[in-house]
Structure 1
Amino acid sequence: MSDDHVYLTLAEGHDDDTRWAYGTGFEDPLHGVDTTVPDGVDRAELAALCLALGDDALVSAQRLADWTTRAPELEEEMALANIGLDLLGQARLLYARCGQADGTGRHEDTYAYFRDAADFRNVTLAEVPNGDFAFSMARLLVLSSWRLAHFERLAASPDPVLAAIAAKGVKELTYHRQYAAEWVVRLGDGTEESHRRMRAGLELTVPYLGELFSAFDGQDDVVAVLRQVTDAAGLPLPAWQPGAGTGRSGEHTEHLAPLLAELQSVARAHPGATW
């Protein structure tokens, strides 16, 4: 199967003409939106979900930023930076909704810059170091496939704000998944060395699926995508063990704290500063 075939097949069922309309306020990403939490929606559950998904996006965006000046080509550097910006935008929206749902009214910056590692609820796969390009593409494929399946379901959320955030994210995540799939196929079906590296990248990534699936029940959809891509790449899909991970409960690897220290350094050194 060619790269283009994989790209087009994964894109089926997604409307490229989808439009999303929110306010344009920079300080408030939900400016102009009716943010009333509907009756019957559990505010605590909504806040917890938005926080976890926001943390996934923020930490993933920071890891993608590590590729700046280090990607194999300028085009890939720009693509990875733009994917990171998409995720950063999702994090802003989700943190803003979290602050409204939990009743604290906390600003997005409070969630991003003024919490310690133990307060973050991102899945572990998002925080581990980039490794080589093959591992990063394997991780991007797994995380974007998982997050896309999650957002497709959340687009029908009883909370209209979360539903709108998810609907916007579906379009972005479809591209993220397509981009990663193309690279997995290209490397897996390339030279002997690229095949070896891509296989190793998958073997390092797939064991985290147990944690992802414990946080969301869309296993069948995600596995179907991963098998489609790995089959096209001539790669086996490694086995994984089911089970809950620790990221959602605030137990992280030793890699998260240094990542956050870099991310938060300016905000903590100059709290309340604007520029």
Structure 2
Amino acid sequence: MKVLVTGANGQLGQDVVALFQKQHQVTGLGRHELDITNLEQCLRQVELIQPDVIVHCAAYTAVDQAESDEDQAYLVNAAGTRNLAVAAEKSGSKLCYISTDYVFDGQATAPYKEYDNTNPTGVYGKSKRAGETLVQTLCSRYFIVRTSWVYGLHGNNFVKTMLKLAKDRDRLKVVSDQVGSPTFTEDLAEFLLALVATEKYGIYHASNSDVCSWFDFAKAIFEESGVNVIVEPCTTEEFPRPAPRPKYSVMDHLAIRTNGFEDLRPWREALKDFLAKLESSSI
């Protein structure tokens, strides 16, 4: 297949390009090659490349900054996604839009299913939800893949931050009342590779399986990397941030099961794999 990947220099985009290249003809475009907020550019590039699939990884992901930069968040996550949806529909391409657990308010007590009502509370989640709506409205062949707590070898993320902080601190406080599922970008890319080859369109929840709090995740990071740090639990209130975070954003992988896909492996297994790769890489 011919595949166009947006946000190709991002944390997920780099892994998607690397993996998909093994099987498909891939064009990866970063923000300097493609300004997704420019409709004409989107139409021109898609017409030029004629992709069978567009994997749309480009996004405005600065969760806290979005609260004071609302226009830019919507420009990228809503209008930018609309532009790609219009271009995809015009060229007959499938569109795979990467979304987030932040489309939920976190008030649930059981894992969110794909077709549960969304209720984002922050600007980031609202702008990503707007992108979902535009994809659903404008595309006839789409996949919306919601993921959570993403980390990978490229770019900054929670795992790298914890390891960095541990270098000059012997104790850390980490929020224990926010629960969800970490996701290793390489595992997510594997799922996307299997998904976009099909016509099993719709919304999917894709994260590594099993559940933890950020506190549990931090403890596991240090245990698996043999770093001696005392991790203390604290509440969200003790660490106020500009943007609200969902307290409970566990997602049920109903669509993965009912459509016959292989679920992503447990998060702890993925974390071990990531840490081994991080140690042996020069990134």
TM-score normalised over the length of structure 1? 0.31
Q: Greater share of strand residues, 1 or 2?
A: 2
* Higher RCO by CA contacts (8 Å cutoff, separation 6 or greater): 1
Q: Greater share of helix residues, 1 or 2?
A: 1
TM-score normalised over the length of structure 2? 0.30
